[in-house]
Chains A and B, each alone.
Chain A
Amino acid sequence: MRTSTLLDEARRAVLGGGRDLSLEELRGLASLPVEDVPSLAALAHEVRLDRCGPEVEVEGILSAKTGGCPEDCHFCSQSSKFETPVRPTGYLDMDQVLAAARETKELGASEFCIVMALRGPDERTIDNVIEATKVIQDETGLNVAASLGILTRDQAERLAAGGVHRYNHNLETSRSFFPEIVSTHTWDERFETCSMVRETGMELCCGALLGMGESTDQRIELLGQLREVGPTEVPLNFLNPRPGTPLGDRSVMEPLDAIRWIALFRLALPEVILRYAGGREVTLGELQAMGMTAGINALIVGNYLTTLGRQPLQDIKMLADLKMPIGALSKVI
């Protein structure tokens, strides 16, 4: 089918009829020739403006416990299973976490996420995160999110009651590709934590990492699985190959291919907060503004967990030039 026909049909479905595109339709759009990616991006941008508006949600993140993780996610420099340059460090104390929240606030963000390299938290960690959440809210007014690994139901309920408004737990990749990336836990365990988070009333932040060697079909499969788990936010990461990890020698995705997938994520998940996360600088380079007109409506500003981001002022200027106001996009779907 011709590109214009495919795009017209997609536009009619999503914008005209408010109907979700089928995975088959998304697969068709995934194989458009590369010169048609800007047209695909333009459609995704229309959908984003129609469903979410022009606001962009800005978030800062903090690694509050780095490295030494017993899991073996093959992309991760914080796994203790691989010989990487990341040296494990202990838990940060309250003052350090609050200082990082203040840095985040200075950047104009509305969201602050406390991240720990863990299989899952112990009770003391849950207590500390709840305490930190209160202090950060009181001192900065930021919304506090957490990413602490696999949760028990009781832990999820305690975090929700303790004011953690959003919990991050990524599916990372499709169920069929997951065993090639992680052997120490299953995709189903991830899905279960994600479902539980929603049941407790916290917003679910559930992201993907593209560029690990998964096929186009597996990316489409992941989109279907993300629809099932129903996240409020989807952080979109692109592999930034880390030395010493099993994926350390892979190359980064082609920039236009990354734009294609940003657009497909938006078309598949019209209402989510679709956030630029790790790897965008090294993957997209000069095309970072294009992602903002291809479906992205949120970003992590400043540094990541173990690598740096670009200068926050560059992002702030990019948003100003694009006439995209910074705002909180919280909602429970």
Chain B
Amino acid sequence: MYCSGCGRPESECDGACLRPLDIPRFCSECARKLDVQVTPQGYEATCRTHGEPAPKRL
């Protein structure tokens, strides 16, 4: 599994790279960059292989 903030293996990042108003940018399953679309009231982050990512694990 990978950190969804920086894409490094989870063992190398405790998730602190992702600050409160940052959006997950990497797929936690394959570490590829996510397609992210931000809208005024939300956002969608999708992996082209794995779809919507699993919720961020802390």
**A residues within 8 Å of B by Cβ?**
60-63, 66, 85-87, 89, 92, 96, 99-100, 103-104, 106-107, 243, 281-282, 301-310, 312
**B residues within 8 Å of A by Cβ?**
5-7, 17, 19, 21-23, 25-26, 33-43
Q: Is the CB of B17 within 8 A of A306?
A: no
Chain A residues with CB under 8 A of B37: 63, 66, 89, 92, 96
Chain B residues with CB under 8 A of A86: 25, 33, 36
Q: Is the CB of A63 within 8 A of B38?
A: yes
Q: Is the CB of A281 within 8 A of B21?
A: yes
Which of chain B's residues has its CB closest to A106's CB?
B41
Q: Could you list 16 A-B pairs, sorted by A, with CB under 8 Å?
A: A60-B40, A61-B40, A62-B39, A85-B7, A86-B33, A87-B35, A99-B39, A103-B39, A103-B42, A302-B40, A303-B40, A303-B43, A305-B38, A306-B36, A307-B21, A312-B40
Which of chain B's residues has its CB closest to A105's CB?
B40
Contact check: which of A87, A103, A281 meets B41 at CB < 8 Å?
A103
| Contact A306/B38 with A85-B26, A87-B33, A282-B21 known, Cβ cut-off 8 Å | yes
Contact check: which of B5, B7, B34, B39 meets A100 at CB < 8 Å?
B39
When A and B form their complex, what is the total count of cross-chain residue pairs whose Cβ atoms lie within 8 Å?
72
Contact check: which of A89, A100, A281 meets B40 at CB < 8 Å?
A100
Shortest B41–chain A CB gap in Å is 4
Say whether chain A's binding surface is mostly helix, strand, loop, or mixed: loop
Q: How far is the CA of A85 from the CA of B23 in the complex (A)?
A: 10
| Contact A282/B19 with A87-B34, A89-B35 known, Cβ cut-off 8 Å | yes
Chain A residues with CB under 8 A of B6: 85, 243
Shortest B31–chain A CB gap in Å is 11
Which of chain A's residues has its CB closest to B5's CB?
A85
Instruction: List 18 additional A-B contacts (Cβ < 8 Å) besides A62-B40, A66-B36, A305-B38.
Output: A66-B37, A66-B38, A85-B25, A85-B26, A85-B33, A86-B36, A87-B35, A92-B37, A99-B39, A104-B40, A106-B41, A302-B39, A302-B40, A303-B43, A304-B38, A307-B23, A307-B38, A310-B21
| Contact A306/B23 with A85-B6, A85-B7, A85-B33 known, Cβ cut-off 8 Å | yes
Chain A residues with CB under 8 A of B7: 85
Q: How far is the CA of A133 from the CA of B25 in the complex (A)?
A: 30
Q: How far is the CA of A191 from the CA of B35 in the complex (A)?
A: 33
Chain A residues with CB under 8 A of B35: 87, 89
Contact check: which of A87, A282, A303, A312 meets B39 at CB < 8 Å?
A303
Q: Is the CB of B40 within 8 A of A103?
A: yes
Q: Is the CB of B38 within 8 A of A107?
A: no
